[in-house]
Amino acid sequence: MPALPPLNAMRAFEASARHLNFRLAAEEIGVTQGAVAQQVRGLEARLGTALFERLPRGLRLTEAGRRFQAPLRRAFRLIEDAFDDLSNNRQIAISVTPSFASKWLVPRLNDFLTSYPDISVQVDARERLADFRSDGIDIAVRQSRSPIAQDLNAIPLFSTEFVVVSSPELASQISSPDDLMEYVLLSDSHGLWPLYLERAGVEGKPRTISFSQTSLAIDAAISGQGFALANAPLVSDELTSGRLSQPLSEVLVDDLSFFIVTPKKPRQPELVGHMRDWLLSQV
């Protein structure tokens, strides 16, 4: 058997390939960024080919890097599975967007841990879609209009109703959609304010602040910076606690729904079933 590259070098490459960033890979592994970069350079020298393109703001896998990443990730998953089988360490990884994680999942997650004290949960909160084959993800929650890929199972979690929310102080100052034009409208990446205003019969060009994530628009609304158009399920806790108010009865119903997504043949069917059933129970 030919001598394999050092395990630390392969681990450094695999983490860097997932994050496309040496700093984030170093934080995951628990070493310095320089150590990760050095390990990857050594691996590239041993293979005689570049695995990454170094960019000003991160990394990009080369063709060789892409070819190397997928089987290496599968190999690490096999090692992790073997360890889990012997150590009785039951862990499930769930992929969600940052906004869904902070505004819906995390506040409820302790209930899952109470119901299943022998299962650990890894939350992967990133905007990019998870790859069940290479990222080690067992189950995901995603917002989508288009049909989910045929090789995946998708179960509706809840349909999306967008509601106007603001701080209680601001909410008390408006009584109709037309009044919104006097205030700042907080928009997220979905950009649904124009559709809401059109359907409500409001004319004119509003002042807006745009955010890349829904959670940021919600937080800005809580702090009194303006009115947000938010997914009703994502602001239910803030409305109940009184941190936010819903001043208008007009809502926007959109087909941008949340789905629970799993592989047709999950790696851990029992744990995936527990998480799926628990997610549905929380709606």
pLDDT of residue 110: 93
Task: Give dist(CA 16, CA 52) in Å, integer.
Answer: 9
Between the alpha carbon of residue 39 and those of residues 29, 53, 161, the distances in Å are 12, 15, 48
Q: Which alpha helices (H) appear in 4-134, and where do they start and end?
A: 7-19, 22-29, 33-47, 63-87, 98-100, 106-115
pLDDT of residue 76: 86
Amino acid found at 243: R
pLDDT of residue 283: 84
Report helix, strand or coil for 268: coil
pLDDT of residue 126: 83
* Per-block mean pLDDT, blocks of 10 residues, the chain (283 long): 81 93 90 94 94 92 93 85 68 92 93 92 84 82 78 85 95 95 93 93 93 94 96 92 96 87 89 95 90
Task: Give dist(CA 141, CA 156) in Å, integer.
Answer: 9
pTM of the model: 0.67
pLDDT of residue 77: 80
Handedness of CA 192, 198, 200, 202 (dihedral sign): positive
Task: Give dist(CA 157, CA 261) in Å, integer.
Answer: 10
How many helices and strands in the chain, by DSSP H and E? 11, 10
Task: Give dist(CA 268, CA 93) in Å, integer.
Answer: 10
pLDDT of residue 45: 94
Task: Give dist(CA 212, CA 186) in Å, integer.
Answer: 11
